[in-house]
Amino acid sequence: MPTFDNIEFRAFDYDGFKDSLFDIARTHFPEWTDVLESNHGVMFIEWLSFISANLAWMQNYHARQHFVPTVNEAKNLTKLAKQFDYHIPNNVAALVDLTFSTEDGDPLTHDLIIPKGTQTRTTGETSLIFETTANLIIPTGAASGIIAGRHQVTRTETETSDGSSDYRSPLHYNPYIEDTMEVTVAGVPWVEVDNFLDSNGNSEHFRLEVDSEGIPTVIFGDNTNGKIPQAGDTIVYIYKVGGGAQGNVSPGTITILDTTFTDTGGNPVSLIVNNVSASQGGVDREDIETSKIRIPKSIGAKEVTIDYQDFEAVITSVAGVSRVRILTVNDNPYIEENTVLAVVLPETTDTLTQALENQIETALSNNPPPLTQRLILTGPQLVTIPIEVRDLVPSSEFSTDVGVSATASITLLDNTFDVGDTVTVNGHDFVIGIDWLAGGDLNSSASNLATAIEVALPEISAQVNAATIDLTVRTPGAHGNDYTLSMADFVTANFFLSGGNFIDGEDSVVQAGIRTALEKYFGRENTDEDGQYTIDFGTTVYRNRIIWLIQDVEGVESFNLVQPSANTILGINQFPKHSLIFTTS
């Protein structure tokens, strides 16, 4: 029987197969010397090389999809994750308090009911929808009320069952938000389960699969494991889509309300909406690279949590956790014996919220630590490393792409100002009568306010156009969109702001490349080719490393790194973050 002991497999692509076939032809058919493209033998070799290369590619592709370290398609990774009993978290929606007020500020003469699911939107080019999570009743005599909102859109789809076994119903909207699917069959709610192993033929259960695009598919049983909806039954699917980290928006950005309202007395009511505080808790679906790191770790703690790796595996499996560091008395003598300090870095926020703490505690209740161990959860201590890139010179092919500056505007509406009226630009308050003085008319008042802004904030240009002050961040780049605007406007409406943030700041190609490189280096899910974090606890962030990162960006010819001027040493429970700004000399 032949063996493969002395065979070398070297040809896996088209050219490799073609060269190998020509070598074989010359060896076995030395009289064949016509190797022009028009020869039928050459055509046959090229055809066979094409087929062989495609077969080799398919073999390699399918082999890669069967192993966690090499899989590169989300749908295949999801199937592998199930074998490890690992659930890949889907989108989580951000929450926010929404304030609904009468447009004129007058109290209501009758009760007003704002129904659950009322949609509000953010300002800006891309509006994000936030729905109210419950009914809000603004009582007679009140002018406003507060209710929780969630970054989501409710979708309803209906179909008729054909009575088939193992029926799968792919739905049509995405991205699906975790744990929001409601299914009713013939008006009866059915229950979602992870699998049908414990379901019998009468169990009104369904399973849910979410593909890499965030589209959900509902799956029913076969009358042995899980009941089949009877033919002709109406099936209704109600679920939420949206969510993700983009829903974590700044205060004062949810201001659009398209719905009209009528109070209990039948009177139309005009309302405005606003979010006084930022929305929080939005988390993106776990990406492929993160899942590939977490799946192997999830095997480490299945029923009990004992050592460092077990705690890290359980806590990082919780949606919304980016990294965790486990510390004991062995790492820090100030930690008590039999105490585990878990320093948790959330994915999208700078603080460890109570909601995320509750999720972690729930995960640990399923994989409990020993009774003698005390667990303390704490949030991150963030160390900001300022980075200023000055005199950035792109190479010739990038020299015309200079980026765009962010802009905003303040319009004065009335020249009779109230005591304490304040405009706040990027956290700096400009109080009437203290930081600037009213002039004889709107134009002169606008000029006084513009001068005060430029003196206090030299990075902003304030140009007066009649009663409007046009604000521009002096240097181009997406950083300008981080600048904020707000106001405290009392009895008389004196100000109109273009929005809560400066807008339309855009990086050049080179600036965008630098920002991407640094965000990958400092980012909360930054990994190298071995799947390890490039910056971790207790490490040093080297100034030269930042210089090398910028130098490696395509299109960078020269630049001057103003900060940091020295290396930054991180403590054992500290995390790095950075602020990046581009300036001119």
pLDDT value of residue 155: 94
* pLDDT, average across residues 134-161: 93
* pLDDT, average across residues 309-322: 81
Angle at Cα 174 formed by Cα 173 and Cα 177, nearest 5°?
120
Confidence of residue 11 (pLDDT cuts 50, 70, 90): low
C-alpha dist (Å) from residue 69 to 63, 66, 295, 575: 11, 9, 10, 27
b/e 408-447 (16+ beta carbons within 10 angstroms → b):
bbbbbeebebeeebbbebbeeebebeebbebeeebeebbb
* Nearest in space to 581 (alpha carbons), one of 347, 409, 383, 384: 384
* pLDDT, average across residues 280-304: 70
**227/164 Cα distance (integer angstroms):** 11
- Of 325-334, 408-417, 456-465, 559-568, the range with the lowest mean pLDDT is 325-334
CB-based contact 563:370 (threshold 8 Å) = no
* pLDDT, average across residues 41-50: 86
At position 88, the amino acid (one-letter code) is I
Class of domain 300-379: alpha beta
Decide if pLDDT at 580 tops 70: yes
With H, G, I as helix, E, B as strand and everything else as coil, classify residue 289: helix
C-alpha dihedral (565, 567, 572, 575), degrees to nearest 10: 60
**212/214 Cα distance (integer angstroms):** 5
Check whether the bond before 175 is cis (ω within 30° of 0): yes
Whole-number mean pLDDT of the chain? Answer: 85
pLDDT value of residue 2: 46
pLDDT value of residue 297: 62
pLDDT value of residue 28: 83
Q: For residues 309 and 1, which has the higher predicted lDDT (pLDDT)?
A: 309
Decide if pLDDT at 425 tops 90: yes
Question: Maximum distance among all alpha carbons in the chain?
Answer: 105
* pLDDT, average across residues 375-402: 85
Confidence of residue 433 (pLDDT cuts 50, 70, 90): very high
* Maximum mean pLDDT: which of 103-112, 447-456, 479-488, 532-541: 447-456
CB-based contact 105:143 (threshold 8 Å) = yes
pTM of the model: 0.52
pLDDT value of residue 1: 41
CB-based contact 484:511 (threshold 8 Å) = no
pLDDT value of residue 7: 43
CB-based contact 374:340 (threshold 8 Å) = yes
* pLDDT, average across residues 539-543: 87
C-alpha dist (Å) from residue 80 to 64, 76, 87, 353, 426: 12, 6, 10, 31, 47
Q: pLDDT of 344-357, one tens digit each?
A: 888 877 888 888 88
* pLDDT, average across residues 157-177: 91
